[in-house]
Amino acid sequence: METNERKQYRFGMVIDLDKCSGCGACTVACAVENNVAPAVPSTTTRNGLTWMNVTAVHSGAAYPDCETVFVPMSCQQCENETPCLTVCPQNAVDIDPVTGIVGQVPQRCLGCRYCMTACPYHARYFNWRDPEWTDGMTQQLNPDVAPRMRGVVEKCNFCHARLHAARQKAAANGSREIDPADYVPACVESCPASAITFGDLNNPSSPVAILAADKNSFRFLARLGTEPKVHYHSSKQWVREMAERSKTRTQQEAFHG
What are the tens digits of pLDDT across the range 43-102? Answer: 888 888 999 999 999 998 888 889 999 999 999 999 999 999 999 999 999 999 999 999
Tell me, yes or no, whether 6 lies in a domain: no
Q: Does some domain include residue 2? A: no
| Domain-located, residue 1 | no
pLDDT recorded at residue 6: 67
- What is d(CA 199, CA 14) in angstroms, rounded to the nearest whole number? 9
Helix (H, G, I), strand (E, B) or coil at 254: helix
Q: Residue 244's pLDDT is what?
A: 83
User: CB neighbours of 152 closer than 8 A, spacing ≥ 6?
Assistant: 92, 106, 109, 111, 126, 127
Show the domain range for 53.
Answer: 11-255
Tell me how far apart the terminal alpha carbons of the chain are, to the nearest angstrom.
58
The answer to whether residue 5 is domain-embedded is: no
- Number of domains the chain is built from: 1
Cis peptide, bond prior to residue 64, ω within 30 of zero:
yes
CB 11 within 8 A of CB 185: no
pLDDT at 46: 83
In 3D space, the residue among 38, 257, 8 whose CA is nearest the CA of residue 140 turns out to be 38
User: Which residues of the chain register pLDDT less than 70?
Assistant: 1-6, 246-257
In this structure, is residue 51 part of a structural domain? yes
Confidence (pLDDT) at 207: 97
Extended strands (E) in the chain? 11-16, 53-58, 68-73, 93-95, 102-104, 125-126, 153-154, 196-200, 217-218, 230-233
Cα separation, 74 vs 51, in Å, equals 6
Please indicate, yes or no, if residue 91 is contained in any of the structural domains.
yes
The pLDDT of residue 226 is 96
Distance CA 77, CA 207 (A): 19
For residue 4, the model assigns a pLDDT of: 57
Q: Read off the CATH number of the domain in which 98 is found.
A: 3.30.70.20
Q: What is the value of pTM for the model shown?
A: 0.90
Q: For residue 211, is it within any domain?
A: yes
The answer to whether position 3 is within a domain reads no
